[in-house]
Structure 1
Amino acid sequence: MSAVPIVTKAGPRTYTPDEPILGGQLVEARTGGKIGVAAAGSVKVLGVALTDGQDPDAVVLNGQPLNAAITPTKIGVAYGGMEVPVTYSANAAFGDKLVATATGKVAPAGATPDARTIVGICAEPAGVTVASNAVGLMRTA
């Protein structure tokens, strides 16, 4: 092959959701090239949703989604070393390796995690512990 085209040089990359997603939730790959909220321990985490979004095939009435606001049908996803705010489901300290937990949150990985489940590193400044159910910085994997 004489040349290889760059598909994505810098992020974020956009995806179509297959369910409602909130900005700041971890997202994972789903069938059909869509994304959804990451499950606990997921090995398919792509990154962190930067905006809210919903499935473009969701139920509509008169051409509009059945909610009060028009929600985007494409979501930018932060990945590969980007620092973004996420919600922690357990206390975490600066430098802790993180894994996905329920509803797209993160928690410390523990002593012997499956390397495939590491989604990032707690990037809050030294000496600051992110409390459970608080928002703090994560550097994506």
Structure 2
Amino acid sequence: MSGIVQVTKGGPKTFTPASGETILGGQLVEGRAGGRIGVAGAASLKVLGVALTDAIAPEQVVTDPTTDSLGRPVLTAVAIPTKVAVAYAGTEVKVTYSTAAAFGDKLVATATGKVAPAGATPDARTIVGICTEPAGVLINTAGLMRII
């Protein structure tokens, strides 16, 4: 092979949420069918990274205006995005921890796109990052994580 084209370097990379998915910035996301993404589930083996922005699936966009109490149309001034930037591979971001973690703990995905310490004998395929918050993180609070 004489050469190849570089696709991305360091991210982020943009994806479309799967039908019915609402993604919030800071949630872990996983690959879904058709090249789309969704909020990562507990112990997911398909985590792609961390959503940097909020987004909804294109199918969820409301095109018909609602009306106020006087019957006037009400439109959203700014449309909710249908694409989401996802940080990955070596990027340090803030995420929500479902369980307290110490500085340096290896992390796995938990429910609703959060993270928790991996424990003593995790499946290596489920490790998504390392806690880089110097003072550690308390339960249900946001803290730094370096994505693996």
In structure 1, the partner of 2:10 is 10
Aligned to 1:103, the other structure's residue is in SS state: helix
In structure 2, the partner of 1:130 is 137
2:120 to 111, 114, 134: 111
- TM-score normalized by structure 2? 0.88
The structural deviation recorded for 1:69 is 5.4
Does the 8 Å CA contact 2:100/2:136 hold for their aligned counterparts? Answer: yes
Distance 1:59 1:51, change over 3 A: closer
The structural deviation recorded for 1:62 is 2.5
Aligned to 1:8, the other structure's residue is in SS state: coil
CA separation in 2, counterparts of 1:48 and 1:15?
11
The structural deviation recorded for 1:61 is 3.1
RMSD of the alignment, in Å? Answer: 1.8
- TM-score normalized by structure 1? 0.92
2:49 to 19, 23, 47: 47
Partner deviation per Cα, 1:18-71 (whole Å, 9 max, x = no partner): 11100000000000000000000000000000000000122533389x978521
Structure 1, unpaired ranges of 5+: none
In structure 2, the partner of 1:94 is 103
Partner deviation per Cα, 1:77-122 (whole Å, 9 max, x = no partner): 0100100000000000000000000000000000000000000000
Count of residues in correspondence between the two structures: 138
Summarize the alignment of residues 54-73 of structure 1 with structure 2, pairs less than 5 Å apart. Answer: 54-58=56-60, 60-62=62-64, 70-73=79-82
Q: Which amino acid letter does the alignment assign opposite residue 141 of structure 2? A: A
CA separation in 2, counterparts of 1:72 and 1:33?
17
